[in-house]
Amino acid sequence: MTEITRPGKIIAIHLNYVSRSDQRGRRPAAPSYFFKPASSIAGTDGTVERPAGTELLAFEGEIALVIGTAARRVSVEQAWAHVAHVTASNDLGLYDLRTNDKGSNVRSKGGDGYTPVGPNLIAAADIDPGALRVRTWVNGELAQDDTTAGLLFPLPQLISDLSQHFTLEPGDIILTGTPAGSSVIVPGDVVEVEVDAPTAPGAPSSGRLRTTVTQGEIPFDAQIGSMPAVDDLQREEAWGSREAAGLPASAPASAAITTYPTHEGSKNVPSAAPNPTVSDPSSGGASGGASGGASVEPAAGLSAELRAKLMEAPTAGLSSQLRKRGLHSCFIDGVSANIPGSKIVGTAKTLRFVPAREDLFKTHGGGYNAQKRAFDAVEEGEIIVIEARGDATTGTLGDILALRAVARGATGVVTDGGVRDFDAVAEIGLPVFSQGAHPSVLGRRHVPWEHDVTIGCGGATVQPGDVIVGDGDGVIVIPAHLAEEVTDAALAQEDEDAWIAEQVAAGHPVDGLFPMNAQWRAQYDARSAPQTEQQR
C-alpha cells in the first residue's frame, strides 16, 4: 500500500455510468464536474456523520484516480500515463442540501468525511482502465456492481478533458462516477466499497473501504445559511427510485418540499419545537401509500366550541349516546394512556400498517414511507390513529416521531400496537393511547403502507375526520356528522347523572332513581326548569 496524501484538488463527475444514467432518465452529452474540498477526505474504517435534522445521506461507490504527474492539455491517448494509482472511494452526499447548491454540491458533497478513499492503491500502469470493477456493500449486502466498460465517458477522456481547463497536479484525485444502486444510508449502517481489476495479472484490489454512519447532534443554523430542504424528486434520486423511497408510483403535480426545523440541543428536547411548513405529497385526499384502498377526504376540523364541550364529556357518556343511536362498535379496544389522567380530543388522521413481508418492507419500509409522511402531514388538532392489527409486540412510533407530532400541533396518537421509547414519548408530553411499551424497531411485524384511508384500529372502523375522544375509560370513535348531537346529549346526561348521584349520596335507594321513574323525573325537571316571577 502507498500512502494517500492530502490532495490539492478533488474533482468529481456528476453522471458517468450508463446504468445510473438510465436510472435517472437522462444522458449528458458531455461530462460535467464539481469540486470537493480536501477536508472531506477520510480513510478506511472511519465514520461519517449524518447531520441532525436531515434524512437523505447517500453512498456512491466510485473508482478514484490519483494523479502522478502534472497534466495540462494532454490528449486522450496520453492521459492514462499521468495517473499514478487507482483506489476505491465513497462519494457521500447529503441530498437535503443539494437543491440549495444547484449543481455545485459545495455543502451537499463537501462535508467532513464525505470522501473516504483507500485502503490500498493499485498501480495504474499495471491495469487496463477499461477493465476495472467497482462494488459496494451495505451491511454486508451487495448494492452496486459495475465495470468501466459501462462508462459514458472513459477514464482517459476525463483526464484529457479536465486538463484542457487547468493543470492536474500530483496527488489530485478524480472521482469517476457511481453506477446504479446508490441509495440512502442511516445511522448504524456500514458501507464497504472495493475497486479491483479482475482480469489483470494477480487481480489487484483496493481492498474494502469501510465507513460507518453515525448520527449528528448539532443542527444547521438558519441564521447563517440556507437550511436542509427535501422534495420528492430528491427522495427519489437519493433512494434510487420512487418505489425504494416509499413514494406513490407517479409523481404528484407539484413536488412537496419539507423544510426542517432547528432545535436547540438534542432530539430529546421537546421545548421550543417549531412548526415548520410542510406540504404533504398526498394532500387533497390522495393515498399516502403506493397501493391499497381508496382514499377518503377528511372532514373539517372541530370548532373551538365543540372541542371544549368534548373535553367536558366523558367517553362513557358519549358511548351511551352512540349506542342509543344504533352505533355499538365505536370502541378502540385494548389501549390505555401513556400519561395517566390525560384526555385527548381531535379528528382522526389515519395510518395503516400491513403485516411484515420482506419484499414489501424493502420497497415500502424505508425512505420517506407512509409512516413518516403521516407524521409530517398531521395538522393542528388532529389525532394520528394507527392500524397495527392489535399487535403489541413492536413499536409503531418512537420519540422522533412524537417530537414531530408535537411540532405539528397534533393532539395525540392512538395505536392498537406498541410504542417504542415509551418513557421518552411521555416526557415529550404527547398523549398516546396504546397497548404499552415495546423496544423493537419498525419492520419486525409491520410495513407502513398508506395514510388518510379507512382503517381498523382496536376493533373499530376509523375514517379520516372521525372525532376521536380518549380518557381514563378508553378511546371511542364518533362519526363527524353526529359529534355535536352526541356531545350535547352526553353533557345533558352527565348533568342528570350528577343530580342522581347527589340523591344517592343523601341516602335515597337506587331503585326508581336510576333510571328515574316519573316521580323522580318530575323532581329533576322541576329543579332544572326556569323559575317564574311568582316562584321567585
**Residue ranges of the binding site:** 398-401, 420-421
> Could you give the angle at the alpha carbon of 406 between the alpha carbons of 403 and 407, nearest 5°?
85
Q: Which residues contact 413 (CB under 8 A, 6 or more apart)?
A: 383, 384, 385, 386, 397, 402, 405, 430, 431, 432, 433, 434
Q: Is 262 in contact with 225 (CB distance < 8 Å)?
A: no
Grouping H, G, I as helix, E, B as strand and the rest as coil, residue 116 is strand
Exposure pattern of 312-346 as b/e (b: 16+ CB <10 Å)?
ebbbbbbbbbbeeeebeebbbebbebbbeebbbbb
Q: Which helix (H) or strand (E) holds 254?
A: none
What are the binding residues for Mg(2+)?
421
CB-based contact 61:182 (threshold 8 Å): yes
H-state helical runs in 260-314: 304-312
Q: Are 385 and 462 in contact (CB under 8 A)?
A: yes
Identity of the amino acid at 170: P
Instruction: Please give the annotated binding residues for substrate, written as ranges.
Output: 398-401, 420
Contact 383, 344 (CB under 8 A): yes
Tell me the C-alpha distance between 331 and 478, whole Å: 9
Please state, in angstroms and rounded to a whole number, the distance separating the CA atoms of residues 132 and 126. 12
**DSSP 8-state class, residue 489:** H
Where b means 16+ CB within 10 Å and e means fewer, 433-447 reads: bbbebbeeebeebbb
DSSP notation for 398-412: -HHHHHHHHHHT--E
Q: How many CB atoms lie within 10 A of CB 482?
A: 17
Q: How far is CA 94 from CA 80, 264, 410, in A?
A: 31, 21, 29
End-to-end CA distance of the chain: 105
How many whole angstroms separate alpha carbon 428 and alpha carbon 406?
8
